[in-house]
Structure 1
Amino acid sequence: MAQGQFVSYLRVSTERQGRSGLGLEAQREAVTNYLNGGQWSLVAEVVEVESGGRNDRPKLAEALRLCRLHNATLVIAKLDRLSRDAGFLLALETDLKRSGLRFVAADMPDANELTIHIMAVVAQAERKMISARTKAALQAAKARGVKLGGYRGAVLTDEIRSKGTAAKVARSQAKAADIAPTIRELQSQGITSLGGLAKALNERGIPTAMGGTWQAIQVRRVLARMALLEGGAVLLILAVSVRPETGTVPV
């Protein structure tokens, strides 16, 4: 029984199919049948017109952005609507795990747990062969008297700390990139104050990076990150010079 929020991804192979709706209705019906019977909400439906042999999928990227934004599950009618290429599916699964996202295929509900791994068995076997050759080379080196390094305990160096900080910054920038289109849309509607933006994001059911509700200070930080992403020095100055007592930008 389906629970939670979902983003539907539908794909057809030709522009003619996209215009006529041929194939789309069947996919839409399969998704609806899968979801029905549970407490769910469909955040968005994204349609892509692209061949299954191509891995350049801007609409799929948009669907994943919406999933990250709403903490939603990507739902598709059939597994082959994603791709028939095992390498692409494995990379996609890795990206989903790294982002903490989930996807489900209506025709194969266990595909995200089982089928992709089976399809990627060749790549996994190749990695095992590389590992085996590496171990054999190390054993041969040891037999020749080469002293191999052992574990001496983890040391928290400045380099490790720097990498950790860089990773946190990268995650924050990625979240800002995901939410930027929504904030720009709200601003175009005349919602420009920090408090107003926070309220609008909460009303749309969009959680913060930590999964909580938006406050003015969090919107302020996102605006600053957006300015860095867009290379807008003026936007950055405005974002960091907001009057905290009013949540407005000085003119």
Structure 2
Amino acid sequence: MSDGLIAGTPDEVLYEVTDHVARITINRPERRNAMSRHTVQLLLEAFVEAGEDPDVWAVVITGTGDKAFCAGGDLKEMNSIAKAGRQVHTPMTGVHRAMLEVIVETYKPVIAAINGHALAGGCEIALAADIRIAVEGTTIGLTEAKRGMGANFGSIVLPRLVPRGYAMDMLYTGRMVPVEEAAQIGLVNKVVSRESFEEEVEAYVRSIVANSPVSTRRYKEMAVKGWGLPLASALRLNVGPNPYTSEDRAEGVAAFVEKRAPQWKNK
């Protein structure tokens, strides 16, 4: 692989939109859905497209197969790059610096459907999502310390999501935490059986897109941009679509009064 050339195939990431839901699937089961540089590029493109498409009201990110959601970065590729005398990617540099930020800043509900182990960069993708639904018996963990790496995103975000002591334990030990344990502290929202996994994810996503997309987009943008701000400042942000002056608000109220299902216009 020459400098500046990102090798890979277009189907490393699958993208489809059905009934207002964009489904993004990391499709490298032979590599436990590890992310090559090309995979990262395709994930970026998929999330940008989902964020810009007005017909998309929610996003599901998952992996192919039942072994791994995503095993993190492709260590074989990293090893080949290093042996060729080139520098492996450093977070927050270069053209791919914003992949996890793009997920966070996709101002629509993002659900990580954790179909298998979510480790290292795969765990960070799950952390960047709003909701995490996992298959029982799988694990989630930031294993970078075992490989001399840094978990740049995870080391900042994980302590904001769970108690700091728990977060630092995960970071320092690099242990693979059973999703059942992670659910006890809210790191995972829901743990379901393999047999009912797809059905449970679909039912949950449907419960989101049944609501006004104007409201859910507002929630996402306010929550992301208000994170870490003092309460008085966050309350005055007024970012995202304004539901109070929207056609959806008028429709939602009318539908309630008329005892019928609302017909959202997303405006």
> Rg bigger for which structure?
1
Report if TM-score (shorter chain) is over 0.5. Answer: no
Q: TM-score, normalised by structure 1?
A: 0.28
The structure with the greater share of residues assigned to strand is 2
